[in-house]
Structure 1
């Protein structure tokens, strides 16, 4: 019986591969699910994969989409697009992402937006603990623009070497975790998100009570981009903001979760823009080395690729609608020869982590000698805290990475891929 079942599966798979060519030639969802595959063997329609925008025969071995994400009905083909990519909005959001690195965010806002327009209404901070090391801060800034009718959540990115090393080691050694929207996400990103989200969601609710018709924009750079991805999806999933009123802009974002998370995110956060500066190496990690095609790290859409090294706000770009599109950043082979730190630290010719480095006091050191922010004393307990914009805070979190250490880690990762 078992042998017969195996033989049947192999025959069906082979037939699916052969007859599936009639499916693979289709390039749109409606035609795909309306077309029969396996004819005349089995009365099954072709299946549409929204992640790769490709059509596959029933049980096709070439289809690597999660089964629960496959589109099989015409009614499920239609996706409402709530917004278009705006380079002007992207530039504003990279400046807002820079504000999240500052220990004095209102002064940073005033510097980066000298004509006004944004008012810091709250900052969310929490002491962070993760896999190997203890950190002194996780942070998000909440601002409002009455002129643009926006409520903005800007998330802080990676700020020191130990934090970066922790991110890499966690991704390599600890399995992904289930996430509320569906799918699985990297543990480190999930932990950082969970530390801030209770207060971030409350801060957003508070502002929506005053500005119910405002759009919510979530943004971030590097680690902040990963947290922004989870935050935007959760705010829609938890019915705090509607899908059509949510926008996401990320810069240098690593892969946050698996294919199912990417697909669910695409449905929840339709107006989502994942911006990549030429060959930014952080957007390539965690590496896609998992043997299971559905569990490997995978980007959600929509990639906006800036291929040139020089990236002024008016630089040329390419929009790639397919998740992990091979014609965007993946067309640019990555190796140590073309490695450049600036590809990750600079977006729109702005040093995201150091845009406000001249403001406030210099960073302090804790009793154990670790560098901390000047705001750390405001959230020493183990609960997130909403800090009002007029609190007495100063200083600046500037990105200071030990790039020889990072290169060593990358060589280790390369060896890991080759031998394991």
Structure 2
């Protein structure tokens, strides 16, 4: 009995010391990540730890920490983005996102960036229809700029209203799927991503081998932004692209996964810019339920919010500090009677109608029996495997 009592007393003493740092202040009293990870905990060689899932500080070896071991780092606050948002780069990447919508990507690239120094090196595609995906074609364009020493992977986004509705319904009724980098993601986005990733990763790996000093930018608008998010984090996670060579630019990106995915993403992809125009409806979906904070849809960093309805390239913007920053798009009152206006906010970035700016190039698309447009490149791709077409 005395031995058990002694162990209980020892445990109480240990818990007391585990809740304080060397200066007598409690780790869990610190509400700021930077202060938290710079403060020594009860073990002098170890600092307090920050848990981004709960936005809370805890001591080293705390038994009350809900974060998985991969988050339990004291070295730095990895959720702080690397680098600086450059709107010139953002404008270039939205034009490259528009190229991915075109059936004639080379001609579209020549039209939008005639003096940009970019050349198209590959088109990657695959037929994407399936039990979950009502999408005629998954497509990505790969371009390179020797002047900027940059490789760009641009992903095609949502091509029709019916496809957007299908995505929203899937987000509501289909369970999310575990993703390799951590957390869960919407199954629609996951399936569309894996349709192309084997070819995208091989293409990027080959280009990296021949241009090892080039940076890689992954970009996309709408659904293309969701696929771009999964592509960027996977290329770093799979050690195909180093962290310091990766940058992500997305436009009107929906919430890709849950909070654990967002936190994992913030840790892996250090330079990420999620551009949102005014009250873009797609940036608000899938909607948050607040029933389970860690499992509900959640945006990763870093939102760049353009509040004005008119969005020229030099429009004022705000770089938002938090993943779901309440002072950015979430601060914009949502009026369901203005939904057509919010759809227009989604369609236009930097005064460019991203999905349609190159639609006049080439013959008009035909329609299938179900009324969906058929891409002029549809015959080049199959359902079985993705294909890389080199330029």
Which range is displaced more, 378-387 or 144-153?
Answer: 378-387
**Residue deviations 1:101-157 (CA, integer Å, cap 9, x gap):** 000001000000122411110011100024456432110000001111110000000
* 8 Å contact from structure 2 (residues 220, 251) kept in 1: yes
Which range is displaced more, 72-81 or 265-274?
Answer: 72-81
Alignment match of 2:384 (pick from 353, 357, 382): 382
Query: Partners in 1 of 2:166 and 2:276 — Cα distance?
Result: 23
Q: What residue number does 2:142 align with?
A: 142
Q: What residue number does 1:356 align with?
A: 358
Q: What residue number does 1:411 align with?
A: none
Query: Partners in 2 of 1:130 and 1:33 — Cα distance?
Result: 50
1:107-256 aligned at under 5 Å gives the runs 107-131=107-131, 134-256=134-256
Please, which runs of 5 or more residues in structure 2 have no aligned partner? 1-14, 20-24
Which range is displaced more, 376-385 or 104-113?
Answer: 376-385
The alignment status of 1:34 with 2:39, answered yes or no, reads yes
Identify if the C-alpha distance between structure 1 residues 110 and 72 changes in structure 2 by more than 3 Å, giving closer, same or farther. Answer: closer
Which range is displaced more, 298-307 or 362-371?
Answer: 362-371
**Residue deviations 1:377-406 (CA, integer Å, cap 9, x gap):** 0003421001223xxxxxxxxxxxxxxxxx
Describe the SS at the equivalent of 1:386. strand
Query: Partners in 1 of 2:293 and 2:132 — Cα distance?
Result: 29
Query: Partners in 1 of 2:321 and 2:97 — Cα distance?
Result: 24
* 8 Å contact from structure 1 (residues 66, 259) kept in 2: no
* 8 Å contact from structure 2 (residues 81, 302) kept in 1: no
Number of residue pairs matched by the alignment: 363
**Shift in Å at residue 32 of structure 1?**
5.8
**Shift in Å at residue 77 of structure 1?**
4.0
Q: What residue number does 1:318 align with?
A: 318
* 8 Å contact from structure 1 (residues 255, 297) kept in 2: yes
Q: What residue number does 1:75 align with?
A: 75
Query: Partners in 1 of 2:300 and 2:256 — Cα distance?
Result: 8
* 8 Å contact from structure 1 (residues 69, 260) kept in 2: no
Identify if the C-alpha distance between structure 1 residues 325 and 360 changes in structure 2 by more than 3 Å, giving closer, same or farther. Answer: same
Identify if the C-alpha distance between structure 1 residues 197 and 22 changes in structure 2 by more than 3 Å, giving closer, same or farther. Answer: closer
**Residue deviations 1:40-68 (CA, integer Å, cap 9, x gap):** xxxx99652336755469788xxxx9522
Query: Partners in 2 of 1:307 and 1:318 — Cα distance?
Result: 8
Which range is displaced more, 361-370 or 248-257?
Answer: 361-370
Which range is displaced more, 321-330 or 241-250?
Answer: 321-330
**Shift in Å at residue 34 of structure 1?**
2.8
Q: What residue number does 2:308 align with?
A: 308
Q: What residue number does 1:331 align with?
A: 331
Query: Partners in 2 of 1:165 and 1:131 — Cα distance?
Result: 15
Identify if the C-alpha distance between structure 1 residues 31 and 67 changes in structure 2 by more than 3 Å, giving closer, same or farther. Answer: closer
Describe the SS at the equivalent of 2:85. coil
**Shift in Å at residue 172 of structure 1?**
0.7
TM-score normalised according to structure 1 size: 0.79
Query: Partners in 2 of 1:26 and 1:365 — Cα distance?
Result: 56
Q: What residue number does 2:375 align with?
A: 373
Describe the SS at the equivalent of 2:288. coil
Query: Partners in 1 of 2:374 and 2:29 — Cα distance?
Result: 54
Which range is displaced more, 320-329 or 186-195?
Answer: 320-329
Identify if the C-alpha distance between structure 1 residues 26 and 294 changes in structure 2 by more than 3 Å, giving closer, same or farther. Answer: closer
TM-score normalised according to structure 2 size: 0.85
**Shift in Å at residue 367 of structure 1?**
5.3
Identify if the C-alpha distance between structure 1 residues 255 and 318 changes in structure 2 by more than 3 Å, giving closer, same or farther. Answer: same
* 8 Å contact from structure 1 (residues 133, 162) kept in 2: no
* 8 Å contact from structure 1 (residues 130, 188) kept in 2: no
